[in-house]
Amino acid sequence: MTEKRIYIASIGIVSPLAKGLAATEARLRDNRSAIGPLDLFPLLQGAILPVGQVHEHELDESSPLPRTHRLARLAALQAMDSRSERPEAVILGTTTGGILTTEQLLRDSDRHKERYRYHGIGSVATSVAEAIDCCGPALTVSTACSSGAVAIALAMAMLRHGKAKTVLAGGADSLCRLTYFGFHSLQLVDRNGCRPFDADRHGMAVAEGAAMLLLTTEKPEAPLAELLGAGLSCDAYHPAAPHPEGRGARMAMEAALADAGLTAAEIDYINLHGTGTPENDLAEAKAIQALFITPPPLSSIKGATGHSLAASGAIEAAVATIAVAKNFLPANTGCTQPDPALDLLPLLQPTTQRVSAVLSNSFGFGGNNGSLVIGAPDSFPTQKPAPAHPALAIHGSACLTGAGEKTATTSLFAQGLAVTGMVAPEHLAENLPARFVRRLKRLPRMTLSLAVAAQQDSGFAGKPAAIFMGTGWGALSETYDFLTRLTESQEQFPSPTDFVGSVHNGPAGQAAILLGATGANITTGGGDYSFEQALFAADLLLGGGDDDHCLVLGADEGHQTLSPLLDPSIAPDTPLADGGGALCLSRKREGAHCLLTLPFYQRSTATADIDALIDALGGATALQGRCALVLAGIPAVEREAGEAQLERFIRQTHLDIPVICYRDLIGEFASASAVAAAIAASLLATGDSSTLLGKATTGDRHTILVLGLGHYLSVMEFSRP
């Protein structure tokens, strides 16, 4: 692998400040806050809180797409405007997806399923990919307020490892009742607007916006800046509060600096996360004090923009880009009396000075942290290329289904018997400490149970370095309960517990706390392909050290009301099913149950088709020699296309081996593929595949393929080491 520079070729941005990079810069130079009273949706009672709302007439109000999608597409199209580069992947961070639309539909008791079709967070990245005609992977990252930064960090890993030459990455979130009332219920909203680092600060202003960065390893004519490094960490401390000493924040900044090959002294400006809540600003200040002997100039722009959640990391990466491109440092708008307890003086006025390297911080719920280093192009030495990692090795696995845990599930499945249904209450949390899970509902319990079981199965004594979690729909019970109580109490008594539990990365954050996993903690949400996305992220980020191991999970809960409305594969008469799977992975072959690769993951198009998938597996002849079993995932809604794809796969490969459409046995839920993965790993570990369905397979054939079919095509290959 050769050394690679990652250039920021262009940026699309829309925020409460302005639309477009130049207008954003101009508004930052004005140093005025764009925070004002909410008027996006009416309130049933109570004082109107200040928010950062996009007053953007060009947001096409007639579009059937939810607001988050429209914000994301606006930023994406702007970034791609008159560019010749074609991104090979879209990586987008979002927490809200289509929830603003869903909230209204639920209030209206609207049961028209098709109106909920853009609810899923994964539909935002897909919508962007369609808008810019990108056929490659469209990944959705949901790590709360660090989502945008984490999306950019993942894009960076993809580019560094040569998996793509150009990637469009960023974040988008719209205002909605869930976040407006949710943060209010946590008493984290400042009624007087947002004043980060001020002695009299009382919290944040919830906001919206989007930014998308066109990143490329092929040097553009006039690059705006260079993406030098990224660092991810997890506090593993509390679901909503930061570690009081800023432990995770410091780790993320340290990792980003190390990744960029820079010392703290080489940073000219820090764009703070600076939400304006007393605890967040204090934790960030402590982390900076611990890392910087003399902190450089620093400021948070959230007093001007508000906190646009998943968009903020991308918007602030754009601001960091403006800083290096224009030698301009924005002010810490809103702060008049810097808090002496923080012992840091943020910039009270916009400042012009030479800037070569900027550190941009984003920290979120679940203790999910991401820091980026952005610098002037070609100004710093390139890093040594990362060594190519060996294949992922599975050291432990677990699953939960209607039939119970892994042994029961695998045994029935191998006999061709159904394991579908809802996970029984006694299996939901049997291996978990009662006090730890008292506040947790269905999805986090399932997730924790899987995480603990996979870790135990691996026999690894050490803590996992990182956790990757795919979920198609997130914590439905918490989301539904929050919205129901909000409506029933006439917006007076939203539940803080349900709000904290409703965030997509809540379950993975809980797993990090329980297992002490302080490395990257990434939740992906790509509908029926969420688990594959989590695996994709793990393969990009898991290091090659012998002690490094991570958990990759996929889980979804069946919810009586929401599942039939949201999941297009669940018809009114479909029996509800749920569950999930987990793998404990490292790069160490020794002692591994089996090896795992993800050779193909693309949006299904004329060129990215089954033939391309077969090519990625090395072609038909090679497959005939090694493949013993195919587990095919065809979501019910994709039946026609999926069956045609499967038929072509079998015809083109001439494989005469068992092919099982696993959803027939596991049930219809988004992360059914995680269960299939755990079953595949288990079959290879125990050697059961030779008797699977009574059909003998020859000894040389030693791999199992788990195909994902439909509007995305993917294949995971499990093989004996």
Partner 1 sequence: MDKLVAELKDKLIDVLNLQGVTPADFDENAQLVGGPLGIDSIDVLEMVVMVEKEYGIAINNQEIGEKVFSSLTSLAAYIKSHSPDSSS
Give residues in contact with partner 1 (CB under 8 A): 185-187, 238-241, 434-435, 438-439, 489, 492-493, 495-497, 500
At closest approach, how far in Å is the CB of 282 from partner 1? 13
In DSSP notation, 442-499 reads HHHHHHHHHHHHHHHHHT--SPPSEEEEE-SS--HHHHHHHHHHHHHTTTS---HHHH
Closer residue to partner 1 in complex, CB, 356/497 = 497
Closest CA to 308 of 10, 14, 11: 14
Please report, as a single letter, which amino acid is at residue 514: L
DSSP assigned state of 173: E
Bridging pattern class, strands 225-234 and 298-299: unpaired
Closer residue to partner 1 in complex, CB, 241/408 = 241
Q: Do 688 and 593 touch, CB atoms closer than 8 A?
A: no
At closest approach, how far in Å is the CB of 386 from partner 1? 39
List 134, 135, 145, 661, catalytic entry: 145
- Determine which helix (DSSP H) or strand (DSSP E) holds 392, and give its type and residue range: strand 392-400
In the residue annotation, 55 being an active-site residue is answered as no
Who contacts 334 (Cβ-Cβ below 8 Å, separation ≥6)? Answer: 33, 193, 194, 195, 196, 198, 276, 303, 304
Closer residue to partner 1 in complex, CB, 116/365 = 365
> Token pair of 309, please?
């959640």
Q: What share of the chain is helix, strand, coil (3-state, %, to 5)?
A: 40, 20, 40
At closest approach, how far in Å is the CB of 185 from partner 1? 7
Closer residue to partner 1 in complex, CB, 353/489 = 489
At closest approach, how far in Å is the CB of 496 from partner 1? 4
At closest approach, how far in Å is the CB of 456 from partner 1? 23
List 243, 307, 395, 593, catalytic entry: 307
In the residue annotation, 427 being an active-site residue is answered as no
Helix 99-107 vs helix 476-488: crossing angle, to nearest 10? 50
> Token pair of 596, please?
């795992």
Closer residue to partner 1 in complex, CB, 185/300 = 185
> Token pair of 559, please?
């919810």
DSSP assigned state of 49: P
CA distances to 256, 278, 361, 493 from 251, in Å: 9, 21, 11, 37
Strands (E), 57-153: 89-93, 138-141
Closer residue to partner 1 in complex, CB, 490/698 = 490
At closest approach, how far in Å is the CB of 70 from partner 1? 33
At closest approach, how far in Å is the CB of 186 from partner 1? 6
d(CA 333, CA 381) in angstroms, rounded, equals: 34
At closest approach, how far in Å is the CB of 271 from partner 1? 27
Q: Do 9 and 220 touch, CB atoms closer than 8 A?
A: yes
List 69, 243, 273, 427, catalytic entry: 273
CA dihedral over 294, 297, 302, 307, signed as positive or negative: negative
Closer residue to partner 1 in complex, CB, 29/485 = 485
Closer residue to partner 1 in complex, CB, 187/337 = 187
In DSSP notation, 56-71 reads -TTS-TT-SS-HHHHH
Closer residue to partner 1 in complex, CB, 6/486 = 486
Q: Do 310 and 173 touch, CB atoms closer than 8 A?
A: yes
In the residue annotation, 307 being an active-site residue is answered as yes
Angle at 200 between CA 194 and CA 204, to 5 degrees: 25
Q: Do 710 and 643 touch, CB atoms closer than 8 A?
A: no
Longest Cα pair distance anywhere in the chain, in angstroms?
Answer: 76
If one counts every other C-beta atom within 10 angstroms of the C-beta of residue 577, the result is 24
At closest approach, how far in Å is the CB of 712 from partner 1? 36
Q: Point out the residues that are catalytic.
A: 145, 273, 307
